[in-house]
Structure 1
Amino acid sequence: MAVTDQAIAGIKDMIVKGRLAPGDRLPPEKELSDELGLSRSSLREAVKALEMIRVLDVRRGDGTYVTSLEPNLLLEAMSFVVDLHRDDSVLEIFAVRRILEPAATERAALAASDEQLAELDAMIDAVPADPDIDALVAHDLEFHNRIATSTGNAYLAGLLESMSGPTVRARIWRGATEAGAVERTIDEHRAIARALRDRDAKLAHALTVAHVAGVEAWLRGAKA
């Protein structure tokens, strides 16, 4: 298990055992790092990641608190992170996406209307300069859904949409923990949209392969 995951598992254990409840303040950093047997830098990384997925609330100058989410929701979110390296189902979904998404994007380059492509460009332009992780994931889901819908094949669009839900948390976790993931995602979306606008089906296909494979490769590394 990665060091960051060890820290997360330790905080989760404190919640399970009732030492930390929603709204409680975490012990001081040195005390908590000593208790968990981890370096303070590893603990900071874990806290930062848990803040990104709204398990912890870091209040500058005050301390770090467990959010007010219900305990079962807190534990569910943290279990995803801790169990990520043991669960192959999301990885298998990404492997299927790597086959189907590029084919859908290639088809969209030929079938999408000019209006649909203009709306796709406008959607990308509307993304804030520094989006939070929730906004990024919402954008990512809509981006891929719009492309699938523009193929004109309702069955393909529905199939791809059905695979989106189980991958949401993996996308959130990547955005929270991988340096440059936010900027890279938007840049890759712009490149794909440009290929679609140019009606370059083969380039759109290749860019989508690289885009989905990048997330898949990160997920394999996170599970290692």
Structure 2
Amino acid sequence: MAVTDEAIGKIKEMIVSGALRPGDRLPKEADLAAELGLSRNSLREAVKALSLLNILDVRQGDGTYVSSLEPAALLEAVSFVLDFHRDDTVLQAFQVRGILEPAATGLAAQRITPEQLSGLRELLTGLGEHPSVEALVASDLEFHRRIADAAGIPLLCSLLDTISAPTVRARLWRGITQQDAVARTLAEHTAILEALEEGDPETARAWATVHVASITRWLSTAL
């Protein structure tokens, strides 16, 4: 395993240093193994591991290429783990959201465009006062995705997308079992949007913290 780790490290260094860029084809196996001082077997294992992480793209009959290295593709491995929906993992996903979501919302308050604000307002008003739980959860996901996008950091947006996906079941369950969950979510979304409209990052960050903390506390109790 240590030899494979060394091989992975050397390929990673080539990518980090810019010797290999997104879309570049790797040299032939024998040539690359000789260049890096590796056995062909250890190189082959390293390539297999990096392809599972979407860092390398092995194309049969064509060669091995560096992937696009886009955050969404690289985070698929994290998504795979979260998709098992273990209760403790889902709780951790909410805890991580509690760290990242307020930061994204605070940044969005400084960077969001009038068009993006208008879209968020339409998203909320389109729900009405008494939406179904399913409609609310779908809107909730889209609401936060748009805010993360407005923060202007693609990696942060991709991280939040990845973390949010497996929390859908918990959000639905809360909406069904907690009496005031729907009304509270609508009120918190409205408060977040008003802070964004006022360009107030501190208030936006505070409301995002309250919003995520309320469901995290509920899930902790439910578990």
> When the two structures are superposed, what TM-score results if normalisation uses the length of structure 1?
0.61
Q: What's the CA shift for 1:132? A: 1.1
Q: Which protein shows a greater Rg?
A: 2
Q: In 2, distance between residues paired with 1:98 and 1:124? A: 22
* Structure of higher RCO (CA pairs closer than 8 Å, 6+ residues apart): 1
Q: What's the CA shift for 1:128? A: 2.7
**Mapped pair 1:202 → 2:202:** yes
1:7-31 CA-partner distances (Å, limit 9, x unpaired): xxxxxxxxxxxxxxxxxxxxxxxxx
Q: In 1, distance between residues paired with 2:112 and 2:130? A: 29
Aligned to 2:91: 91
Amino acid at match of 1:120: L
Q: In 2, distance between residues paired with 1:170 and 1:179? A: 15
Q: In 2, distance between residues paired with 1:190 and 1:129? A: 12
> When the two structures are superposed, what TM-score results if normalisation uses the length of structure 2?
0.61
Q: What's the CA shift for 1:129? A: 2.4
Aligned to 2:136: 136
1:150-181 CA-partner distances (Å, limit 9, x unpaired): 11111111110011111000000000000110
Q: What's the CA shift for 1:137? A: 0.5
Cα RMSD, aligned residues only:
1.2
Aligned to 2:156: 156
1:42-86 CA-partner distances (Å, limit 9, x unpaired): xxxxxxxxxxxxxxxxxxxxxxxxxxxxxxxxxxxxxxxxxx9x8
Aligned to 2:217: 217
Amino acid at match of 2:156: L
Q: In 1, distance between residues paired with 2:215 and 2:132? A: 18
Q: In 1, distance between residues paired with 2:87 and 2:189? A: 28
Q: In 1, distance between residues paired with 2:137 and 2:148? A: 17
Amino acid at match of 2:98: R
Alignment of 1:1-224 (within 5 A): 87-223=87-223
Amino acid at match of 1:185: T
Q: In 1, distance between residues paired with 2:129 and 2:186? A: 10
Residue identity over aligned pairs, in percent, reads 49
Deviation above 2 Å: which 4+ runs of structure 1?
A: none
SS in 2 for 1:164: helix
What 5-or-longer segments of structure 1 have no aligned partner?
A: 1-83
Amino acid at match of 2:167: T
| Matched residue count | 139
